[in-house]
């Protein structure tokens, strides 16, 4: 067992493992230590910039879920945009669960939105599910506000093909959030039924559960649900 694994196991919480393991079915229980994310983030802050961290980042693949979380948190602490992207290019193909994927939020991206877009387009064309999920997440996190939004972005997400549950769920989350922030531009995707049925219905469900969608908009969305 490595020093990092030993440290991670010292933070294990069996109750948290029992709670979280069923929520991440793509990872077998024996690969889950059971550590709340804030504790792993705190450890990443302590470890960041050390030789041990650099060695860890180069030691893919990892076995434990929490090692992948730690890898993501160390990566997002990278202040250099190009290095952050390079680390993600190496790491994302090894991500095998939604929890690791969705927790990676590099602050350096916010300062480099024009530079990030070509990488998002590239990640959207990747063969693996979680690289594409991450790309959609970045579009949702950074490109829905006035001044940075473009109708091109929901069009990119609308091309997601059905059949991959965790990709469908992220696309639905994107459209539900986009409806709340860019209704006029995004509603036609729902009205004209331009999304795969599973994404269409999940987006409506998520949107109607949102406090950012008006009651009138929710009623309209409910009339557009597809059967099945």
Helix (H, G, I), strand (E, B), or coil: what is residue 42?
helix
pLDDT in tens, 161-209: 888 999 999 999 999 999 999 999 999 999 999 999 999 999 999 999 9
Q: What percent of the chain has pLDDT over 90?
A: 97
In this structure, what DSSP letter does residue 64 have? S
Integer-rounded Cα Rg, in Å, for the chain is 19
Q: What is the pTM of this model?
A: 0.95
Q: Which pLDDT band, with edges at 50, 70 and 90, does 104 fall under?
A: very high
Q: In this predicted structure, what is the pLDDT of residue 113?
A: 97
8 Å CB contact between 208 and 218 = yes
pLDDT in tens, 112-142: 999 999 999 999 999 999 999 999 999 999 9
Query: What dihedral angle (degrees, nearest 10) is formed by the CA atoms of 40, 44, 46, 52?
Result: 120
Q: How far apart are CA 157 and CA 29, in angstroms?
A: 32
Q: In this predicted structure, what is the pLDDT of residue 1?
A: 86
Q: In this predicted structure, what is the pLDDT of residue 163?
A: 86
């Amino acid at each position: 067992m490595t020093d990092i694994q030993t440290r991670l196991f010292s933070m294990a919480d069996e109750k948290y493992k029992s709670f979280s393991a069923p929520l991440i079915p793509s990872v077998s229980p024996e690969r889950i230590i059971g550590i709340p994310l804030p504790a792993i983030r705190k450890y990443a802050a302590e470890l960041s910039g050390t030789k041990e961290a650099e060695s860890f980042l180069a030691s893919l693949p990892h076995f434990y879920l929490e090692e992948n979380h730690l890898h993501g948190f160390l990566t997002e602490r990278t202040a250099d945009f190009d290095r952050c992207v390079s680390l993600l290019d190496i790491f994302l193909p090894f991500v095998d669960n939604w929890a690791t994927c969705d927790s990676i939020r590099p602050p350096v991206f916010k300062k480099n939105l024009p530079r990030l877009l070509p990488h998002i387009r590239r990640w959207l064309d990747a063969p693996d599910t979680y690289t594409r999920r991450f790309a959609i997440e970045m579009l949702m996190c950074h490109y829905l506000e006035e001044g940075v939004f473009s109708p091109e972005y929901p069009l990119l997400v609308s091309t997601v093909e059905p059949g991959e549950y965790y990709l469908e769920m992220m696309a639905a989350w994107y459209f539900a959030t986009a409806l709340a922030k860019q209704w006029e531009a995004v509603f036609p995707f729902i009205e004209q039924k331009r999304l795969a049925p599973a994404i269409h219905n999940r987006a409506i469900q998520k949107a109607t559960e949102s406090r950012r969608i008006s009651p009138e908009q929710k009623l309209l969305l409910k009339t557009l649900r597809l059967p099945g």
